[in-house]
Structure 1
């Protein structure tokens, strides 16, 4: 007998709660009741959020119309991240969502470029990235899925207002049967025989029971930690930043289709352009500066008037020791936190809830399913952790204690192996479900000054004239495409502008 789940309770709203609810609303059998409990008295951490391209597939899977989503969340498009001051103080490079050209005769784009460099050509690798060149020219248009098109080899994500995204998802999920309860939880009740969660008690005395629970209660982890005592593993020795000031400011032109990350003395500053404002934040380490100095740094480097008082967020980089414990999974901040340098917070929510649906349980608990789920999710966390650490480790800055610490800080063996391999031959080993594939690792290595000692010997299969002609053709195609496409602002105005975005235009008219 299947012994199916009949009721799931999601504790907490915000992005994590409503992404979970929306995913369940289209995936679980119709007979399963999904209840989300959140309190309007409890604030959520909602700032301008940047994402990675996988968010497009999540939105599509749950049935969101992209233009409606962009308008409703004041979103803009994101072709990647520009890094300023990473590696050394005057350095600038771009991590674009796309490769540096197609493979040619099974030879990677990086190997082709590396051989070209060995022949004396000093064209930077970034020049072969269509996503980078479009972004830096403030151009945007969706890629063409036809592999014969010069516009197929890039991807995009979004910047949006996280609180508006949660609101949009709520409407979407409730229309598909998800129920919502505005209430505070005063207690969590465990079954005496096995310690599983039986129900939650609300402040007004009501008791809500379920077969399975999803903890989206933020850093406190009301269920996964407060009730189940799961424990937390601290990764601060790898990633020492532990605070962030966040503040929105007035939007300024041009409207850039990318995030900016600027290294500061004790951390880094983000800039996320939205249709109605710009999101800003300063991520820093309290071991190397104080909160007031970090705030002063942020406020001195805004490019528009602040719209709200700054908000301080404290966090500990790491992960919950179990993402699935008994009859509860946790996601969002309840599951762990890896700093926002590469915009992975929402992607972790998406990956975890999708993974849960792949392992969707019955009421008969399987320890094998729980263990495999935890192993696979932790592996995803570790691979992203390594990618973020790489940014800090590949630096020669000497202007702050943080950067001097990063030069010699301990790193995982898994990252050291990747670094050694790329430094030797420009190869990166990735797995099927890695958030960041070979082009992303290549962008960070190259952007921070690592050029492989050798190139793939297979690249010698091309004659010098053929190689130079191929690479010139790629540059010419990128230049032609870049000149033809509309600006980021023009594309939004034509296809998905919000009322706030159109107001300045209407005022001028």
Structure 2
């Protein structure tokens, strides 16, 4: 790497401070010069960052201690996300952050479950997940030796957004990362090649740099506004075009899972925090006004919602390039996801992980951008495809928004993936996947996509032997879940009053 490379990060909130800490941690010994320009925060009291399971490992990587971070952000743990009301006939289901059952004779467990279900077995697929069983029982656990031999278990966070960003900013300040608050006045570009050379601030200051990170959120002040990189809309697959955010009183006891509940014109998400319950409602403005959306969220949750809700536009889509010239977009400056699977923070991680591995070694060429765009673009599309299935597979018939979502043609890669699973229960995994086989299978089965056939290798085992395997798995899960404690015990909080 060119040791004189000057990096300027323009942005706010999670994308800004994660970028600053990740670059410092990765390249502090290389002498990288980092300047952070902090735009005014857009966060409100009710905002939450739900994460995926990769977040914990990333905190360790960048030197964030879990316990103090969670206290400062009023955070809770989560073992699963519960989906309700996506069908008028099927019960809610848990998407657990763990594997389901165990492979038998090297055949994925869900094939054995499919055969047993066809023969009348009553156990639900989620009954074979330690995480799902614990979540349904209101219990939490830190994965360890007790379950490691049986399943891969993990947990995620619900992070109070303001407190979490304060933690990230404090860590960056302690690392003496060059930082100044400001507002962007102009972007200076080279007259010959169009690269960004400096940022002019409203204060009159000019900040020069060689490489720029756009962490400005959906405004995309550098990659989008200044460099003119267009967005490819995904709106045809995601009918909700507005997002309501507010909060309600805290739940007691704290449930170790989040919940997504569909209703006629969208869905409502509940994300428990220690001091409040964050509420998100994605809906279509073609059917609801802001006032009607707040009323619908109240009806779905049956909770006392803060009336000062914020309504934001929601237009999922990704840039045609995520790294153009000498600028890379991190977070929503590059890609906006539907919030249904809590992937916002993971999008930051994906972009930064690929940036670290392909960080430019020269200010002149930056040939790494082509590989970065290929890898990151594919990863974002695989996430998009996973999320799309919640809409495609809904069974809320005779409701315009959901009827439309069910009728839309998916992209070819997802279409084949769905067809193969529907035919024989196989899960196709492409390069750059975020969600694993168990995630896809649990989501599809939960939404009622039951394959017409299962792997014929399952028939090599007698029904009696398969039943014994099932009984041992269920017994193991029951024995491990029964002694687990409520989540408050792990958070150092007083137990809920009975």
- After TM superposition, the score normalised by the length of structure 1 is 0.93
Who is 1:332 aligned against?
331
Secondary structure of the structure 2 residue equivalent to 1:410: coil
Q: After alignment, is 213-222 or 96-105 more displaced?
A: 96-105
1:139-288 map, 5 Å: 139-144=139-144, 149-150=149-150, 152-288=151-287
Report the alpha carbon displacement of residue 300 of structure 1 after superposing the two structures with TM. 3.4
Measure, in 2, the Cα distance between the counterparts of 1:457 and 1:470: 18
What is the aligned-residue RMSD (CA, Å)? 1.9
Change (3 A) 1:193 1:4: farther
- In structure 1, the partner of 2:70 is 70
Superposition deviation, residue 274 in structure 1: 0.4
Q: CA deviation at 1:433?
A: 3.8
Query: Which residue is equivalent to 1:417?
Result: 416
Higher mean alpha-carbon deviation, 366-375 vs 79-88, is at 366-375
Compute the TM-score of the two structures, normalised by the length of structure 2: 0.95
2:60 aligns to what?
Answer: 60
1:148 Cα deviation after fit:
5.5
- Checking the alignment, whether the CA contact within 8 Å between 2:12 and 2:217 is kept in structure 1 is no
**Distance in structure 2 (CA, Å) of the matches to 1:149 and 1:53:** 19
Q: Report what 1:101 is aligned to.
A: 101
Map Cα deviations across residues 232-284 of structure 1 (whole Å, 9 max, x no partner): 11110111211011101110212011110000111100000001110002101
Any gaps of 5 or more consecutive residues in structure 2? none
- Name the structure 1 match of 2:488: 489
Partner of 2:453: 454
Instruction: Output one character per residue of 1:28-80: Cα deviation in whole Å (capped at 9) or x when no partner.
Output: 1442121111134x534671121110111111111122112211211111111
8 Å Cα contact 1:88/1:395 also seen in 2: no
Secondary structure, aligned partner of 1:287: coil
Give me the whole-angstrom Cα distance separating, in 2, the residues matched to 1:118 and 1:43.
51
Q: What's the secondary structure of 1:143's corresponding residue? A: coil
| Runs of at least 5 residues in structure 1 that lack an aligned partner in the other structure | none
CA spacing shift, 1:79–1:233, aligned 2, 3 Å: same
Q: CA deviation at 1:164?
A: 1.3
Q: Distance in 1 between matches of 2:229 and 2:3?
A: 26
The corresponding residue for 1:473 is: 472
Given that residues 90 and 448 in structure 2 are in contact (C-alpha distance below 8 angstroms), is that contact kept between their aligned partners in structure 1?
A: no
Residue 482 of structure 2 aligns to a residue in which SS?
Answer: helix
- 3-state secondary structure, aligned to 1:253: coil
Contact conserved, 2:298 with 2:304, CA < 8 A, in 1? no
CA shift for structure 1 position 383: 0.7
Stretch moving more, 425-434 or 231-240? 425-434
Contact 1:99 1:109 in 2 (8 A): no
Query: In 2, are the aligned partners of 1:425 and 1:454 still within 8 Å (CA)?
Result: yes
